[in-house]
Every structure is written in C-alpha cells, then in structure tokens.
Amino acid sequence: MAPALTGGDFRFTWPLDYVCPTVLFSILDGVGDFFGPLPPLGNTSPGPAPIVRGANDVAAVWWNVFTESLDPLITHESLAASWIEPGTPTMIQLSTGLSSVPPALAAVGDTFVAVWAAGSEIRAVRFTRASGPLDPDGGMLVATGLGPIGEVAAAADGTNVVIAWRESAGPGQSAIRAIRLAPDGTLPSPTPTDVAFSTEGAAVSVAANPAAALVAFTRGEEEGNSIRAVLLDD
C-alpha cells in the first residue's frame, strides 16, 4: 500500500488470477487500466506490483508480459511502471526482460528506483515522471551476489535507497545482504553489507528513515520460523 497524495486514502495493487482449472494468466488491479478487455492477448503480469509514494507522485512497478499473438506465439517482456497519481494512470517501460523474482521499488523525492534480481546480480533503474528512465535498457549493476538471488526489497531513508536481498549460500542456506544506492546512481559504499545468514527461502524486508535502516528476515528453526531483524550501520 501507498498513501494517496490527497484525501488521506491509500492506494494499493493486487493480482488477479484467471483459473481453468489451473492458472492460465494473471493481471493486476490498482495500477491502471492496461490489462483489458481480457488477456492473454494484451498485458499480463506473473507477479505483484509494489507501490510507493514519492514527494509528488505515486508509482508502481511490475514485470509485464505483452502477448501480441498466440499463433505464432509472440510476446514482449519488460519491467513496466505506472504513474498512478496524480492524474490518469500512465504506463511506461523501464527495461526489457523478465525475472522470476518480483521487483522492488523505492523513491527519494520524486526519483523512483526500481530494483530487481538477474541471476546473481542486483540491478536497478531510476525513473522520473518528467524524464522517464534515467538509465539504459538493462539498468545499472548495483551488486553481484555469491549465488542466485531469490528475493529483493527496497526502502528510502530520505537520502539513499536501501536495498536488501536473499541469495543462495549453499544447500538449505541463504545469505541476507544489503547495499545503499544514491538517487544520482552512485553507491556510497560499493561493497554490500553481510547482514546475516538464514535458511533457504527466507522472506526479506527493509524499512528506513533518516536516522536508521532495519533489515528483517525469517529463519527456519527447529520449532518453526522466527522473525529476526538487524539494524544497519550508517
């Protein structure tokens, strides 16, 4: 969810699956009317769309699959974003490609940063309403992991975007790492922070403000899952 710019309401997005009897395709609600009248001819999305409020804009980002033809099958895959508020929602393409890992989104002022996993790499593209994507197709390389990345999260602290992720660290194990990205595309420190080790499939989230950044994650224990958190150094 993201706070609306006016009225004190909230904006949120959610996936809709079309099932018969298995999932045929998925679309999104809450990002704008880009999925009608009925896919698969048209836009679909294999995952959710995180939504974030900047200083003056509300935006969402997702993996978009546009099916041009079924016979022969012709699809176009991209990382898409929507300016949800103010005004009528407008979709833009940020980068070509597709990932099985849902993207993350954060904003410093009205510079939005979409973050995604590409194998063992963390990549990002900055975008604004006025200029669109600020980085080339494929985004910028932010960090390289030791193993395949399975989840990514992002939050802004008012100055930088704090990115956290889970990567494979051997059978049944995962590493939780983090890095900061400035809105001008530079890395205050190019070396990722090793936050903690966890178990395979751990969920990861991050929250930040000007005073602190906190990375939370799950860990499998003998008696169930635990939720743990680490406060990052400045």
pLDDT above 80: residue 37 = no
pLDDT in tens, 58-90: 999 999 999 999 999 999 999 999 999 999 999
- Asked whether residue 118 falls in the same domain as residue 55, the answer is no
Q: Among 98, 126, 158, which residue terminates a domain?
A: 98
- The pLDDT of residue 102 is 96
- Asked whether residue 201 falls in the same domain as residue 94, the answer is no
- Asked whether residue 127 falls in the same domain as residue 86, the answer is no
- Asked whether residue 27 falls in the same domain as residue 140, the answer is no
Q: Among 75, 98, 121, which residue terminates a domain?
A: 98
- Asked whether residue 92 falls in the same domain as residue 130, the answer is no
Rounded to two decimals, what is the model's pTM? Answer: 0.94
pLDDT above 80: residue 8 = no
- Asked whether residue 105 falls in the same domain as residue 87, the answer is no
Q: How confident is the model at residue 4 (pLDDT cuts 50, 70, 90)?
A: confident
Least confident of 1-5, 25-29, 53-57, 186-190: 1-5
d(CA 157, CA 76) in angstroms, rounded, equals 34
- Asked whether residue 11 falls in the same domain as residue 38, the answer is yes
> By three-state DSSP, how is residue 123 classified?
strand
- Asked whether residue 36 falls in the same domain as residue 78, the answer is yes
d(CA 51, CA 11) in angstroms, rounded, equals 8
- The pLDDT of residue 27 is 94
On the CB side of 10, CA atoms within 13 Å amount to: 5
pLDDT above 90: residue 143 = yes
Q: How many domains does the chain have?
A: 2
- Asked whether residue 94 falls in the same domain as residue 177, the answer is no
Instruction: Supply the Cα-derived Rg of the chain in whole angstroms.
Output: 18
d(CA 113, CA 135) in angstroms, rounded, equals 10
Q: How confident is the model at residue 23 (pLDDT cuts 50, 70, 90)?
A: confident
Domain that holds residue 232: 99-234
d(CA 121, CA 224) in angstroms, rounded, equals 30
Q: Which residue has the higher pLDDT, 51 or 233?
A: 51
pLDDT in tens, 102-131: 999 999 999 999 999 999 999 999 999 999
- Asked whether residue 34 falls in the same domain as residue 12, the answer is yes
pLDDT in tens, 168-225: 998 999 999 999 999 999 999 999 999 999 999 999 999 999 999 999 999 999 888 8
Q: Among 45, 67, 98, which residue terminates a domain?
A: 98
- Asked whether residue 217 falls in the same domain as residue 122, the answer is yes
- The pLDDT of residue 234 is 72
Span 121-148, average pLDDT: 96
- Asked whether residue 86 falls in the same domain as residue 139, the answer is no
* Torsion sign (Cα): 169, 174, 180, 184: positive
